[in-house]
Amino acid sequence: MTRYFRWWHFLFLMSMALTVSGCSHAPAFDVMGSLFPAWLLCIAAGALLAAIAHLGLVRYRINLLFPLLAYPCLAAVFTFAIWLMFF
């Protein structure tokens, strides 16, 4: 019973810490005096990584069943991963 309580207590504290950490300043870069939103950089990097993944799949001759669905999903996964790693 005490292990369950400790796990639940830890989970509650971590969820509260993650919720409160979003109250900081907006993620933006200063580019020549104007603020450049960080999500644009993450989208560009995600699209670039999806293109690199496409080249890797073509090189190893891996055919995707639904490429029109797979590549935007790959770009989204890469975008969200970059966002979570850096912001």
Whole domain around residue 38: which residue ranges? Answer: 26-86
Q: What is the CA radius of gyration of the chain?
A: 19
In a domain, 18, yes or no: no
Number of domains in the chain: 1
What's this model's pTM, rounded to 2 decimal places?
A: 0.66
Does residue 2 fall inside a structural domain? no
Contact 21, 13 (CB under 8 A): no
Q: Is residue 65 part of a domain?
A: yes
Q: Is it the case that residue 72 has pLDDT exceeding 60?
A: yes
Q: What is the pLDDT of residue 70?
A: 96
Give the dihedral of Cα atoms 58, 61, 65, 68; nearest 10 deg.
Answer: 10
The predicted structure's pLDDT at residue 17:
76
In a domain, 59, yes or no: yes
In a domain? residue 14:
no
Q: Is residue 3 part of a domain?
A: no
Tens of pLDDT, residues 3-59 = 556 777 888 888 877 777 666 667 777 777 777 788 899 999 999 999 999 999 999
The predicted pLDDT at position 59 comes to 96
Query: What per-residue confidence (pLDDT) applies to 46?
Result: 97
